[in-house]
């Protein structure tokens, strides 16, 4: 039996690797060695007793869990973290731990909502797609035809959402500096958006297009119907009241969104303002059909004359760079149709419908007395993304292995959900 188990795991590993490589994935030497060593130890467990398969699944996230602990307690990159991985089969692994801020010091739980910052843009984009499918808005129409008050914007809504144009306002919308050059009044902010103009036709990442898009339809009601009711994202929303456990913003004002533009307009906007949990974020994958033209809009690559331009990593969100340069939020092992979204507050979410998984981490490095990320935060969290991808790979190997075991009528395991506190 041990020989059969060993052969099945080896075969499953090779199958998963071949499939992910075919989909555009790649493993560097360090990652490959880590995965091989992990698989060896798990194979020994499987050989010991086939009945321990559920226990093997329980241990798959161990490295993932241990690194989360290191991030909080040793590296001190963030006071707290919540992170989840889900395969389309239903196997889910989540870890959480730490505190909501260095001021309040309340434990992070699976229900703690994090300030998503720019991941909020993904919610707006998906809402636009749904409204377009229903015929309530035409995302291929010019913005000034959708709403005549935006008279200067003779570009399509979808082009604006893909940052194909540099759209500006005459004054900055911000409440962090009460000077005449900043607008910190809600009505004035909306008027500025209506008077926004196209500075040039060059790529320019900005909050403004998404703020504008949120004014073109009843976004708040669509948000509630689509995400909270339809997808049952019950721990997701804007402006969380005081009884809801939250983190991610200023360490004293956790229930207030961190983004200054969003604060000006009351906390509800298309570019920021959403608070959610890592497990709720996994549910967005239900709206992502890789064969739809809407999904193609998300990952459509740009046509830069200089392929080395780092902006080639941007579709509507982060995608893989066409030259494979390490300037993307999408790890190398993910498929060519994967995309990621990240937020200034320390949030990251990856969706890969081709390899059939979703993953994310939510951290709160701003919830400290300094209100700033540590200098090495980005570099070390990139390593955490690789650990997540290694865990995804191993989960997929054992998912395949379990299918083969099922074929031998030895064991059955489905929809296994693992949530561990650090």
How confident is the model at residue 325, as a pLDDT?
60
CB 153 within 8 A of CB 144: yes
- Rounded to two decimals, the pTM is 0.92
How confident is the model at residue 413, as a pLDDT?
44
How confident is the model at residue 38, as a pLDDT?
77
How confident is the model at residue 305, as a pLDDT?
56
How confident is the model at residue 6, as a pLDDT?
82
Could you tell me the mean pLDDT of each successive run of 10 residues in the chain, 422 residues long? Answer: 78 91 87 82 68 60 77 91 92 90 95 98 97 97 98 97 95 70 81 96 94 98 98 97 92 90 95 98 95 88 62 79 69 92 96 96 95 90 88 87 68 56 71
User: Shortest CA distance to 153 belongs to which of 141, 144, 164, 140?
Assistant: 144
How confident is the model at residue 313, as a pLDDT?
72
How confident is the model at residue 184, as a pLDDT?
73
DSSP label at 311?
A: G
User: Shortest CA distance to 188 belongs to which of 176, 171, 166?
Assistant: 171
CB 127 within 8 A of CB 223: yes
CB 239 within 8 A of CB 272: no
How confident is the model at residue 403, as a pLDDT?
80
User: Shortest CA distance to 367 belongs to which of 275, 247, 263, 267?
Assistant: 247
Distance of CA 248 to the CA centre of its chain: 15
Rounded alpha-carbon distances, angstroms, from residue 365 to 2, 96, 355, 375, 382: 46, 15, 30, 11, 15
Please report the domains of the chain, with CATH numbers, ordered by start residue.
97-298+354-386 (3.40.710.10)
How confident is the model at residue 311, as a pLDDT?
63
């Amino acid at each position: 039996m041990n020989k059969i188990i060993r052969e099945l795991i080896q075969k499953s590993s090779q199958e998963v690797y071949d499939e992910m490589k075919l989909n555009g994935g790649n493993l560097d030497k360090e990652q490959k060695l880590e995965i091989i060593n992990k698989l060896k130890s798990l194979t020994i467990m499987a050989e010991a007793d086939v009945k321990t398969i559920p226990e093997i699944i329980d241990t798959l996230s161990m490295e993932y869990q241990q690194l989360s602990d290191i991030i909080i307690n040793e590296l001190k990159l963030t006071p707290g973290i919540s992170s989840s991985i889900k395969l389309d089969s239903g196997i889910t692994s989540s870890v959480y731990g730490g505190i909501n801020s260095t001021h309040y010091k309340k434990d992070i739980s699976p229900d703690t909502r994090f300030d998503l910052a720019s991941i909020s843009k993904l919610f707006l984009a998906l809402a636009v797609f749904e409204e377009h499918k229903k015929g309530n808005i035409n995302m291929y129409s010019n913005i000034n035809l959708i709403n005549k008050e935006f008279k200067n914007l003779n570009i399509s809504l979808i082009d604006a959402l893909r940052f194909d144009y540099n759209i500006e306002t005459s004054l900055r919308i911000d409440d962090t500096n009460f000077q005449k050059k900043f607008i910190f009044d809600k009505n004035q902010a909306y008027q500025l958006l209506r008077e926004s103009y196209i500075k040039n036709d060059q790529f320019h990442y900005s909050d403004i297009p998404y703020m504008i898009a949120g004014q073109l339809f009843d976004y708040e009601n669509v948000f509630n119907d689509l995400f909270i009711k339809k997808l049952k994202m019950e721990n997701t929303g804007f402006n969380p009241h005081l009884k809801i456990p939250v983190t991610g913003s200023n360490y004293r004002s956790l229930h207030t969104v961190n983004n200054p533009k969003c604060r000006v307009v009351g906390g509800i906007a298309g570019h920021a303002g959403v608070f959610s949990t890592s497990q709720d974020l996994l549910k967005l994958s239900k709206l992502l059909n890789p064969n739809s033209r809407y999904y193609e809009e998300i990952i459509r690559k740009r046509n830069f004359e200089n392929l080395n331009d780092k902006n080639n990593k941007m579709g509507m969100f982060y995608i893989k760079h066409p030259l494979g340069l390490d300037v993307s939020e999408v790890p190398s092992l993910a498929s060519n149709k994967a995309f990621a979204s990240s937020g200034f507050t320390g949030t990251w979410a990856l969706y890969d419908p081709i390899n059939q998984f979703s993953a994310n981490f939510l951290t709160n490095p701003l919830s400290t007395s300094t209100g700033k990320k540590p200098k090495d935060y980005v570099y070390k969290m990139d390593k955490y993304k690789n650990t997540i991808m290694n865990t995804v790979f191993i989960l997929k190997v054992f998912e395949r292995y379990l299918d083969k075991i099922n074929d031998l009528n030895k064991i059955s395991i489905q929809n296994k959900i693992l949530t561990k506190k650090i």
